[in-house]
Amino acid sequence: MARFADGIAVGLDLVDAAQSAVHQAIAGLSGPPDLVCFFICGDDPDMIARAGERAMASAGGAVVIGCSATGVIGGGKGIELTPAVSAWAATIPGGRASVFSLETLRAADRFVVVGLPERQPDDRVAVILADPYSFPADAFVERSEEVLGDLPLVGGLANGLLGRGSVRLFAGDKVYAEGAVGVLIGGDVDVATMVSQGCRPIGPSMVVTGVEENMLLELAGQPALARLEEIVSGLGEADRELVASGLQIGVAMDEYAERHERGDFLIRGVLGIDPDREAVAIGDVVEIGQTVRFQVRDATSANDDFNDLLAAHVAGLGPVEGALLFCCNGRGAAMFDGSDHDVLAVRGVLGPIGVAGFFAAGEIGPVAGHNHVHGFSASVLTFGRGR
C-alpha cells in the first residue's frame, strides 16, 4: 500500500504543470489523499497564483498547502531557476491535518503574530512556509516554544524569481502574498525530523569568555580575533579558501559533552570582524560560558554530514515511507555537481519513497529539541510506517 507519493512537471504553462504534478502524486497513492503539498517555480507571480489555484482545485478534497520557490524537488530530481511544479501527496489514516495562516500585526512597540492554531495533546509536527519579506520568521521560530511548547516546526522560507513581492503562499483554497501558512499534523502518525547543517569544524572548541551582544570579544581568555587568526594560520591552502568564502561558527548544543565534533553544533554565520576591538561578529547572541567552534562548509562536508544523518535516522527510527525535503537555495547546483544531490541522497539511504520539497531562502527545523531557522542546510520531515 502506497501512502506517500510525489510528482513533478516542467513547462512554461505553470497551470497545466500544477495540475499534472498534483495528479501524478495522487495517482501514486493506494487511496485518496489526506494531505497535498506543492511548490511552484516561475517568474510571473500572477501565473504562479493561478497555478496554485489549479493545484488546490486538483487535490481531491485533501488538506493543501504550497508556496512559490526558486527551485522545486520531486520525481527524484531537483529543478532550479526553471518553470516547474512539484507535488507530494499523503494518506495518513489515524492522523489529521489542518491548515492555518499567520499574519503579523503591530501592537504598540512590538509585532504580534496572529492565526496560530490551538494545540492538541497529540499534535506531532507543524510544517511552516513563510514569506521572508513580510513575516518575522527568525523571531517567530526562535520563540515558538513560548506559544507552541515542544512542537517541532519544519519547513522553509519561500521565495520568487523576482524577489520581494513575488512570493505566493497557498493554504486550503486561498492565495496569500505575505505572511506564512502551515499545516498542523497530529494523531496516530509516525513522524521525525532531521537537519543537516553540512559543516566541518576547524580549530579547537573554545569557551566564550567575553561577549557583547553578537560580538565575540574573548575566546578561552584571549581576544577572539587573535584566536581566529591563530586557527586560520594553521590551516592548509584549501581550508583557507573555504574560510575566505564563508566562515561559520558552531554553538555547542550540549555543554556537558566530553567532545564537540561535526554535528554537535548549531551553525551560524561569521558576519565580520572589528580589528580595533579584536572582536568577531556572528549571526547569533551567545553567553559567557558557552562553547563555540569555528566551521567551514564545502560539498564534501555537506555530503558526508547529510548521508551520515540519514543513515543514523534509519538506524534509530526504522523504515521511512515518505518525506518532505527543504533545501537551501545555496545547495543544489551551487554547491554540488547538480540540483539533484539532496533528493538522491534521501532516496539512496531511505529507499524509493515519495519525497518532494523546494529550494528555500532559509530552512526551518529543530536542532537538539529547539526550533531554528538555518542557512545552507537540508531540513527533512519523515513519515514512518506507523506507531
pLDDT in tens, 325-344: 999 999 999 999 899 999 99
- Using CA atoms of 193, 194, 195, 201 in order, give the dihedral in degrees to the nearest 10: 150
CB contact at 8 A, 251 and 266: yes
Task: Give the whole-angstrom CA distance, residue 90 versus residue 181.
Answer: 18
Domain ranges, ordered by start, for the chain: 4-196+302-384, 200-296
Please state the pTM of the whole predicted model: 0.93
Per-residue buried b or exposed e for 305-344, using 16+ beta carbons within 10 Å of the residue's own CB:
bbeebbeebeeeeeebbbbbbbbbbbbbeebbeebbbbbe
pLDDT of residue 257: 63
pLDDT of residue 261: 63
What is the DSSP annotation of 22-41?
Answer: HHHHHHTSSS--SEEEEEEE
Task: Give the whole-angstrom CA distance, residue 151 versus residue 143.
Answer: 12
Q: Could you tell me which of 380, 339, 335 has the C-alpha nearest to residue 357?
A: 380
pLDDT of residue 167: 97
pLDDT of residue 175: 98
Segments of the chain scoring below 50 in pLDDT: 387
pLDDT of residue 256: 62
Q: Which residues pair with 358 in a beta bridge?
A: 72, 326
Q: Which residues pair with 250 in a beta bridge?
A: 267, 293
Vertex 374: Cα angle to 120 and 200 (nearest 5)? 130
Backbone φ and ψ of 330, nearest 5°: -90, -5
All cell numbers assigned to 229: 587568526
All cell numbers assigned to 53: 489555484
Q: Which residues pair with 373 in a beta bridge?
A: 364
CB contact at 8 A, 196 and 382: no
Axis crossing angle, helix 45-57 with helix 14-27, rounded to the nearest 10: 30
Per-residue buried b or exposed e for 154-170, using 16+ beta carbons within 10 Å of the residue's own CB:
bbbbbbbbeeeebbbbb
Report which DSSP code applies to 334.
G
- Using CA atoms of 56, 60, 62, 66 in order, give the dihedral in degrees to the nearest 10: -20
pLDDT of residue 387: 46
Task: Give the whole-angstrom CA distance, residue 68 versus residue 52.
Answer: 9
